[in-house]
């Protein structure tokens, strides 16, 4: 492989590892006519009748999976936490490291909230799954830790899902510790509350303020908002070494600089400080969302601050932990944030997305990097900015040349097309990376997906209309809607092939499997270039 192709392949792997490569074989040679349809909010809602328990994925690692051991550990933190009770706490900033590092600081904040809440919203950042302009909520009715089950506020979650900025991406929440780490601590002190766990991706200030308005419009006097964040991550392990002398003092100065903006409830100033200093505050987006929700008369209470460097007597690598309370009342909005209009893609939108895909590929071949959309001269409409998953398919002489995509909406549609155009070109493991001399021979096709929704039985699948994701025994596989008609499969044949694709026995779909279905708007260049 030449140096250029090696570079591009490495570039694609480094930047686009979020895409699940085993989904690439969902693509075949032909595509049917486009399937038009909107994402109805009812499709995205959590069922109120069927109990669906989301179990902690960090029990046994981040904290003990034994109920008695975990309860005694938390009890020890509570007994040692000497804090002033605050009767009007409406929000907290709380750390999310392992309890041996940040448990005491976290408990001090939670213990200061001296009342019971009907609803607790926990907003944490995404460490595992890269996401842009989107916040993730669960499709479940309960959350389970070793200390028992907590009921999720399904009605509240369904109202969030009416807004495209809130989506469901399973891995982003089910394996993310930042929100989960708070739950046992809350269970110990709070009784009969409903939980709303949220994981936030990288968001612009516009998306942050939008999410804040939506959440603020749904909160009431019985709501506590907990934002989960650690502060400065210092050291080579975190690729952040802005100073090498007086390290403890410098870290504290950096953290207290951030706290000054938090104390002033200055969301924009806080983000500008983060950007200016490069401060590695992992939960900066959740914090900024909270600050945007608070009214000017809310008071900030400094509860506790410490660092892992201080605790471990080693500042070669150190993480900072704050516990901060906000006291006051939720200010009623004059009206709730209305759901955005989910207009369909126009023909011009489709044309621009296809142009975006082709220009992206050519740019990457020429410049050996992923372009920003501003460098491509493509018009991005408001509909293209809504989070939506997409597959990009390349065909050469009517044969598949590459196909990779997202399954769940992790970023705006235009960004999904841009990244997956590169992925399909250089990171489809079935093919060698695309070469410049092939560009005139490929035809580009885009499949813009609706949000995958669970179904109770595979008999609900509509051949030629629904794409399908099969999950069983930690294995998954996907077919786009056009695959079954292309192959001439009936439902049983399609599910049998989907089982094989997942590395399961041919009849694995018949028992113990779960299914998600989605639809796709499919459009492509009229002829091969």
The stretch 194-199 carries a mean pLDDT of: 97
3-class SS shares of the chain: helix, strand, coil, % to 5 = 40, 25, 40
Q: Write out the H or E segment, with its range, that includes residue 524.
A: strand 520-524
Q: What is the rounded distance in angstroms from the CA atom of residue 272 to the CA atom of residue 370?
A: 25
* Superfamily classification of domain 3-38+344-524: Hypothetical protein ph0010; domain 1 (3.30.700.20)
The stretch 58-82 carries a mean pLDDT of: 94
Whether the predicted pLDDT of 92 surpasses 60: yes
Residue of higher predicted confidence among 453 and 367: 367
Whether the predicted pLDDT of 47 surpasses 90: no
- Six token digits for residue 113: 């909230």
CB 525 within 8 A of CB 445: yes
| pLDDT value, residue 35 | 30
**Residue 527 pLDDT grade (very low, low, confident, very high; cuts 50, 70, 90):** low
| pLDDT value, residue 242 | 95
Residue of higher predicted confidence among 157 and 12: 157
CB 132 within 8 A of CB 415: yes
**Residue 18 pLDDT grade (very low, low, confident, very high; cuts 50, 70, 90):** very low
- Each domain of the chain, given as residue ranges in start order, spans 3-38+344-524, 90-327
Whether the predicted pLDDT of 111 surpasses 80: yes
Whether the predicted pLDDT of 4 surpasses 50: no
CB 448 within 8 A of CB 349: no
The stretch 466-495 carries a mean pLDDT of: 93
Whether the predicted pLDDT of 435 surpasses 90: yes
φ, ψ for residue 425, nearest 5 deg: -80, -40
Q: What is the rounded distance in angstroms from the CA atom of residue 97 to the CA atom of residue 101?
A: 6
Strand spans (E) along 328-434: 390-396, 399-405
3-state secondary structure (DSSP) of residue 149: strand
**Residue 174 pLDDT grade (very low, low, confident, very high; cuts 50, 70, 90):** confident
Share of the chain above pLDDT 90, in %: 79
What are the distances in angstroms from CA 242 to CA 165, 252, 266, 275, 309?
34, 13, 25, 14, 16
What's the pLDDT tens digit per position in 304-346? Answer: 999 999 999 999 999 999 999 999 999 876 556 677 666 789 9
Q: What is the rounded distance in angstroms from the CA atom of residue 514 to the CA atom of residue 281?
A: 37
**Tokens 């950007």 identify what position?**
275
**Tokens 């489809």 identify what position?**
428
Q: Write out the H or E segment, with its range, that includes residue 455.
A: strand 453-455
Q: Which of 165, 173, 210 is nearest to 195 (CA)?
A: 173
Whether the predicted pLDDT of 379 surpasses 50: yes
The stretch 154-161 carries a mean pLDDT of: 95
3-state secondary structure (DSSP) of residue 324: strand
Query: 23-27, 69-73, 455-459 — which is least confidently predicted?
Result: 23-27
| pLDDT value, residue 173 | 82
Q: ∠ CA(441), CA(354), CA(29), 5° rounding?
A: 55
Please name the residues in contact with 465: beta carbons below 8 A apart, sequence gap of 6 or more.
Answer: 35, 481, 519
* Superfamily classification of domain 90-327: LigB-like (3.40.830.10)
């Amino acid at each position: 492989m030449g140096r250029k192709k090696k570079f591009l392949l490495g570039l694609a792997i480094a930047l686009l590892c979020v895409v699940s490569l085993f989904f690439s074989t969902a693509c075949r040679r032909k595509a049917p006519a486009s399937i038009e349809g909107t994402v109805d909010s009812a499709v995205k809602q959590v069922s109120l009748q069927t109990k669906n328990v989301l179990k902690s994925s960090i029990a046994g690692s981040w904290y003990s999976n034994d109920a008695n051991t975990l309860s005694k550990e938390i009890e020890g933190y509570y007994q040692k936490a000497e804090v002033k009770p605050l009767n009007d706490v409406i929000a907290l900033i709380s750390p999310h490291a392992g309890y041996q590092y940040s448990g005491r600081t976290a408990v001090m904040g939670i213990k200061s909230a001296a009342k019971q809440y009907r609803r607790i919203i926990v907003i944490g950042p995404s460490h595992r799954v890269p996401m842009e302009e989107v916040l993730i909520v669960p499709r479940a009715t309960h959350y389970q830790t070793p200390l028992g089950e907590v009921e999720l506020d399904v009605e509240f979650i369904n109202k969030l899902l009416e807004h495209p900025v809130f989506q469901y991406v399973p891995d982003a929440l089910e394996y993310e510790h930042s929100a989960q780490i708070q739950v046992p601590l809350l269970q110990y002190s709070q009784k009969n509350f409903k939980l709303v766990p949220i994981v936030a991706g990288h968001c612009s200030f516009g998306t942050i303020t939008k999410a804040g308005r939506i959440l603020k419009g749904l909160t009431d006097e019985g709501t506590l908002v907990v934002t989960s964040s650690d502060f400065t991550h210092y050291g080579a392990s975190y690729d952040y070494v802005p100073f090498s002398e007086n390290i403890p003092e410098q870290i504290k100065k950096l953290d207290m600089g951030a706290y000054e903006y938090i104390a002033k409830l200055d969301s924009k100033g806080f983000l500008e400080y983060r950007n200016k200093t490069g401060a590695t505050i992992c939960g900066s987006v959740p914090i900024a969302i909270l600050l945007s929700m608070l009214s000017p008369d809310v008071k900030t209470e400094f509860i506790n601050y410490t660092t892992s460097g201080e605790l471990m007597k080693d500042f070669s690598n150190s993480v900072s932990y704050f516990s901060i309370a906000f006291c006051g009342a939720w200010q009623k909005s004059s009206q709730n944030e209305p759901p955005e209009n989910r207009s369909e893609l126009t023909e011009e939108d489709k044309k621009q997305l296809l142009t975006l895909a082709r220009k992206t590929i050519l740019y990457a071949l020429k410049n050996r990097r992923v372009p920003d959309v501003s460098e491509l001269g493509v018009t991005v409409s408001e509909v293209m900015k809504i989070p939506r998953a997409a597959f990009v398919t390349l065909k050469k002489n009517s044969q598949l040349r590459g196909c990779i995509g997202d399954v769940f909406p992790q970023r705006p549609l235009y960004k999904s097309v841009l990244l997956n155009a590169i992925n399909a070109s250089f990171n489809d493991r079935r093919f060698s990376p695309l070469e410049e001399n092939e560009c005139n021979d490929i035809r580009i096709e885009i499949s813009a997906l609706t949000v995958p929704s669970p179904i109770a039985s595979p008999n609900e699948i509509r051949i030629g209309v629904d794409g399908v994701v099969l999950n069983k025994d930690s294995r998954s596989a996907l077919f786009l809607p056009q695959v079954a008609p292309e192959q001439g499969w009936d439902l049983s044949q399609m599910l049998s092939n989907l089982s094989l694709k997942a590395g399961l026995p041919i009849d694995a779909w018949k028992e113990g499997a779960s299914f998600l279905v989605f639809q796709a708007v499919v459009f492509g260049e009229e002829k091969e270039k």
